[in-house]
Amino acid sequence: MRPLPTTNEPVWDLTFDEKGVLTAPAEGDFLDEVTAGGVTDLFVFSHGWGVAEQSARELYDAMFPLIRAAASGAANLGTVGFAGVYWPALWFPPTPATPPAAVASPQAGEGALLDLSAGTAAVSGADIAASLAKGFADPEQQQTVTEVGRRIDEAVAAAGAGETDAAKEQRLAGIHELIRSLVPPPGPDGEFEDAGETALLLDTDPKTSYQAAAEAFGSAPPGSSTQGIGDWFRNAVNGAKDVLRVLSYSVMKARAGDIGRAGLGPLLAALHGRSPGLRVHLIGHSFGARLVSFSLAGVGAPGDSPVTSLLLIQGAFSHWSFAHAQDNPFGSAGALNAFTDRVHGPLVATFSVHDWAVGIWYPKASFLARQDSEAEEAGRWDGMGADGYQAVAPAGDRVMPAEGGIDYAFAPGTFYRVNASAVINDVDGQPFAGAHSDIRKPQVAMLAAAVAAAHG
């Protein structure tokens, strides 16, 4: 435990491994300290992608004082404490993406989106591997990631060297076999809405699918995969880099769900058993939004849950995850639909048109699945940070003001979509992610306090 700067509220740093095991602090120590501290309202915040502990701590050190200030004097909140979740997410190296002109400027034509590029082709396989390998604890998996990067760079060097098509296809097959070995096993039944990218990762024809990946992420010109534009092998090798980006999404989503379900959820149940009057307010950003959401599946029965509010900030997981079967394009209830009653207050999700990571690039990870669908429903593979909860009830819509506070009038047991485009909007220097991580702002903290104060 450490004190919050200036105001001294307790802060706990909860570190989980990729299996959901709490490695620090000891569970008993954490439970004892929360109880002894007399905390009545514990804000639990999970970061998104990236494995650096320092960057996560900087996020918490920025947000916790803002939330404390916003919560000060709230009638329905008592003694507050904070817990930051640290988990081994993956980090893809920065790429020189092309900003989406059609989003940045509404006057731009729809055709402007055709010129988008994630910029993945510009980074080497070695750079990608060095970044991603840090997110795997298993030395064999680290070696596999490194080997994939090495083989991609070898393939880049071999392009145009006069190899036969058969030899080139063999190179791709070897790369794909290694990538397939890193794909997480299928999740529990009902997580189909987050499995679109497996159509690519488990495809058996990398020659075709890797070219299609390059086209989807802008590493090859439009039509190259279907019309034979350009050097098919160069396009496919560029596509292999994009496939590694998709793999990073897949691993992070699976890992966030596992840690939430097997790690954070049971810890929260134990906390409730030790301190029955404690209220827990869950907050998650990006893939961390999935982690805190899936903790609801591991907390036990509704009566065992201390969770009194849920706030998802630019969530990087399916907006159908809480959906009822009716109006869900997958035809079944979402993976978390049955766990809504573990939250005894409001369930809130922000979205922003300036979040390019979730609004534009995230759905592209499921492009191969879309090609296999005869009638693609709008938004089938979209993320929470693009438009908030879908196919949920009861539901309401709110708008985050650019300045000042607001009475959101949240009610327990209700889903709310909060349009944060006026606040989460700084895209400067972020050509790929846009405003995805532009969340360290008082208005976001005010929202967190308002969600917490509306508990049942």
Whether this model's pTM surpasses 0.75: yes
Per-residue confidence (pLDDT) for residue 190, from 0 to 100: 58
Query: What is the pLDDT at residue 189?
Result: 61
Using CA atoms, how far residue 391 sits from 8, 276, 394, 444, in Å, is 42, 32, 9, 25
* Cα–Cα distance measured from residue 229 to residue 39, given in angstroms and rounded to the nearest whole number: 63
pLDDT at 221: 85
Closest-CA residue to 99 (of 314, 367, 354, 382): 354
Tokens 């006026």, located at residue:
422
The strand ranges marked E within 215-315 are: 279-285, 307-313
- Looking at residue 374, what is its pLDDT? 43
**Chain centroid to CA 175: how far?**
26
Rounded Cα–Cα distance for residues 7 and 9 (Å): 6
Which pLDDT score, from 0 to 100, does residue 107 have? 44
The whole-number pLDDT of residue 377 equals: 59
In this structure, CATH architecture of domain 2-89+258-453: 3-Layer(aba) Sandwich (3.40)
DSSP letter for each residue of 185-241: PP-STT-GGG-TTHHHHT-S-HHHHHHHHHHHTTSS-TTHHHH--S-HHHHHHHHHH
> Domain extents for the chain?
2-89+258-453, 101-252
pLDDT of residue 378: 64
Residue 101: per-residue pLDDT: 75
The whole-number pLDDT of residue 150 equals 98
pLDDT of res. 236: 96
Residues of the chain with pLDDT under 50: 104-113, 374-375
pLDDT at site 455? 83
The type of residue at 226 is T
